[in-house]
Amino acid sequence: MARVSTARGFAWPAPAKLNLFLHVTGRRADGYHELQTLFQFLDFGDELYFTPRGDGVITRTGGSPDVAEADDLVVRAARLLQKASGTGLGADIKLVKRIPLGGGLGGGSSDAATTLMGLNRLWNLGFPTDEIAALGLRLGADVPVFVRGQAAWAEGVGERLMPMKPPERWYLVVAPEAQVSTAEIFGAPELKRDCLPVTYEDFLAGKTSNVCEPATLRRYPAVAEAMEWLRAWGQPRMSGTGASVFVDFETEAQAHKAGNKVPGQWRHFVARGLNQSPLVGIMRAA
């Protein structure tokens, strides 16, 4: 996906992500969990359109009807950037939502990152990427990886990022009708919180997993059903705390062959893994 010119203006991409694995290595005194994970982007996601305005007003159209405008991360991101910069400018923001809510694909975080990066450019603020990433962390642990736009090995609460280049395979992603509560899963008493640290080589050798799967599958039968169905096509994994589950393929044709068999009650899509977000190319060209 890339920014394209349309009748509505330029479409700024907000790509989905996958957690290719997810381990919890500990729990901090403040209640946050220490993680190890590997983020990779997808060539599938939301689109945002920005129209700057001079009166400081921030509006949002589109998006999900289940999310109030004031609570939407795009609005919160725009207002955070306003406050940090002291600008008197505003924006009308149109959000075309494709990434499922509560699916573990990072849709809200990606939308926030694209808003921060796009308005930083359109308002001519000149914040460097490091400062934008720091602002993004105040909105969510996943926002910085979308700001930086590189597939990354993440540790801490997800804010310590090391760029990586995992294989850019094709994925069939299945999103059952469930909105998984991240807080519920991380609060589950059975969640494994004492994983030993692993390396990227361990990931390549198949020695990693998603430790959130047992808690999610137990609480969300639709996710468990989708995961079981995917086993016919390979080794399925869950992204984040779910609900989305996925399996990888060598070729696009293989992924679509499996996608054509997905039961009608499940939303699904085929996408290519990307080690560089399409937002990076746009920021360089803009």
Active site positions, annotated: 17, 142
Q: How many CB atoms lie within 10 A of CB 280?
A: 16
Alpha-carbon distance 228 to 236, whole Å? 8
Q: Cis omega before residue 151 (within 30°)?
A: no
Quick one: which H or E segment has residue 61? strand 58-62
Query: What is the per-residue burial (b if ≥16 Cβ within 10 Å, else e) of 205-223?
Result: eeebbbbbbbbbbebbebb
**Would you call 21 helix, strand, or coil by DSSP?**
strand
C-alpha–C-alpha distance, residues 237 and 108, integer Å: 21
In whole angstroms, how far apart are CA 264 and each of 76, 267, 269?
Answer: 35, 7, 12
Distance CA 73, CA 78 (A): 8
